[in-house]
Structure 1
Amino acid sequence: MYYEFYIDVFFVVNLFMDFLVLCLTNRILRGSAKPWRALLGALAGALGISLFFWLSKEINTVNILIFSIGMSFAMVWLDCRPCRGKELLAGVLACWGISFLLGGLLYALPPRAGKGILIFFTITFTAYWILNTGIRLFKYLKGKAVLRCRVILETGGQKIELKGLLDTGNCLTDTDTGKPVCVMEKSRFSGMLEKKQQDALESFCAMEDFGEGDAENLKPRFLIYTALGCERGLLPVVTADRLVIFWEGKKICLSQAAIGLSDAPLSPYGKFEIIISPKILDS
């Protein structure tokens, strides 16, 4: 049986498909790679598979599979530049999964719908946006649940468990220690203190004279911050002995944690009791 093989068309089709697959892979991995990186990976993939079909003396399922797996690792590395082997493997699996889904959407269409290169690109791009929308929706719904975490705060020999919220908008940093600042309600934190410490903390927050010895362990200070509706405010900050965060199966411990104290309730319905800075997760 005789087949006509157009290497230029084969290259362009693979370049287009690989680019879309790598863009979706980068989104799944929460990468920040720019489109040119995906284009570089797609170019390597399309060039590699084209040379493979052009130069190979024998083509069968085994050598195609081996070549495709190796090429997938190279493409994902060029696009996402994962730091660990686990992330690279996850990227390759995501790449193959997206390829199967994208191919499945194309095969689900009537045979006549795929005739013509322009129609093929249009259908493929539409399938890409369907998958892209699905990934964004899944990450949004998952993110609403993942942003909640369990928190244990320890200070002065007292320990309390809190419901935490990971807030990407919390960029507060303690100017004294350089540590990220988490925010909780002042009344909740005061409940962990002795009466003398409570009175000293209240006096400090009101900018009145207070017994420094009573609040010495807390190291109270003020942090200047900017927020919506407040161009320049002062947030009381204290130091807690230990902060433990349980998030996505990981246990993150921070000693001498900086805690900002809010007079206003953080959540009217009590859905969370402390706002966690995302910088802690990267520390």
Structure 2
Amino acid sequence: MQYEFYIDAFVVTNGLMDFLVLMFTDEILHRKARLGVLFLASVLGAVVSAVLFLWMSDYLLYQMVIHFILNPLMLVFAFGEKKEKRLLEDWIISYLAMILLGGAMQWLYYGIGRGRHFVLCLLGVLTIGVFGLCVVERYRRIEGKVYEVKICQDDRELEVAAYYDSGNLLTDPYVKEPVQIIDEEMIRPLMEEKQMRKRLIPFHSLGKENGWITVITAEKMIIRKRKEQIEVCPVVLGLGRKELFSGTGYHMLLNEKNLRG
């Protein structure tokens, strides 16, 4: 049985898939490689792969050269890694991405397209890949702004995940302290146990020029992320509705002034 080999389709398909894989690896591991370098690495990898495919008669040997020599070299070229541990991380993540994208291609081409419409299926995989990159980027932006926070009042402590909200500039006009917004349901047990006094302060927000928010004052707040730690004494906490934090993974909005500088 004879097969027709279209070198242009081979290079374009492999180049685009490699480019997506490299972008996924870069995004997940936060390598901060330049997009042009990733594109060049994927093109060179696809071209060399096509040349080797035409030159090597032993397909098993070809696969070994691709997976254990060419692909690692492509990763080194793309990310400039010299440490074995980081190169291994690149290799593992890139192959996981390759498996996911390859599986998507197989599903679209054979499952949905019934072995037809290859170009449309390839565009579908590219769309899935770009969407996945957007999801990863959004998650990274959110994760990068989430801090571990400990609220202290006398001998009691409450730990919550807090999001750094650069748009939260609310200040208590009476004590001149920045206000953090916390899920009222999370802080209620501590409020009731320590009989923390509530009061109202005015606030302005988008779509609501004048309003009032209930606040309490706690003894101390400790903001932590990795090796960074910030203490705020005392801390003013605005009580927010549970719906404000529903599905976010955090229960507090930090004030921009607490983390600035």
Residue 11 of structure 2 aligns to which amino acid in structure 1? Answer: F
Q: Note if 1:152 corresponds to 2:150.
A: yes
State which of 48, 62, 68 in structure 2 corresponds to 1:51: 48
Match of 2:241 among 246, 261, 267: 267
Contact persistence 1:237–1:258 (CA under 8 A): no
Are 2:24 and 1:21 aligned?
no
TM-score if structure 2 supplies the norm length?
A: 0.55
Residues 1-283 of structure 1 correspond to what in structure 2 (within 5 A)? 7-25=7-25, 28=28, 37-38=34-35, 40-51=37-48, 53-54=50-51, 60-64=62-66, 65-75=68-78, 77=79, 90=89, 92-108=91-107, 109-110=109-110, 114=115, 119-130=117-128, 151-154=149-152, 158-166=155-163, 168=165, 170-172=167-169, 182-184=180-182, 227-230=205-208, 241-245=220-224, 253-256=229-232, 259-262=235-238, 265-268=239-242, 274-276=252-254
Shift of 1:41: 0.8
**For 1:193 and 1:143, how far apart are their aligned partners in 2?**
36
Give the Å deviation of 1:161: 0.8
Contact 2:150 2:222 in 1 (8 A): yes
> What letter matches 1:124 in structure 2?
L
Distance 1:42 1:113, change over 3 A: farther
Q: Which runs of 5+ in 2 are unaligned?
A: 172-177
CA-atom RMSD in angstroms: 5.9
Provide the secondary structure at the position in 1 that maps to 2:240. coil
CA distance in 1, matches of 2:121, 2:129: 13
The answer to whether the Cα contact below 8 Å between 1:181 and 1:257 also exists between their aligned partners in 2 is no
CA deviation map 1:136-190 (0-9, x unaligned): 77999999999988642236x544214444254655499xxxxx97434899798
In structure 2, C-alpha distance between the alignment counterparts of 1:38 and 1:230, rounded to whole Å: 43
* Number of matched pairs: 238
Deviation at 1:13, TM superposition (A): 2.4
- Structure 2 contact 183–242 (Cα < 8 Å) conserved: no
Gap change, CA 1:133 and 1:12, over 3 Å in 2: closer
For structure 1, which runs of at least 5 residues remain unmatched after alignment?
175-179, 207-223
Residue 68 of structure 1: how far off its partner (Å): 0.7
Q: What is the Cα deviation at residue 131 of structure 1?
A: 5.3
* 1:102–1:127 contact (8 Å) kept in structure 2: yes
Q: Secondary structure at the match of 1:60?
A: helix
Counterpart Cα distance in 2 of 1:170 and 1:30: 26
> How many angstroms apart in 2 are the aligned matches of 1:282 and 1:13?
46
- Flag the 1:96–1:274 CA change in 2: closer, same or farther, 3 A: same
Distance 1:139 1:281, change over 3 A: farther
For 1:2 and 1:48, how far apart are their aligned partners in 2? Answer: 26
Query: Offset at 1:266?
Result: 0.8
SS in 2 for 1:121: helix
Q: Name the structure 2 match of 1:211.
A: none
Shift, 1:124, TM fit: 1.4
Conservation of the 8 A alpha-carbon contact between 1:168 and 1:277: yes
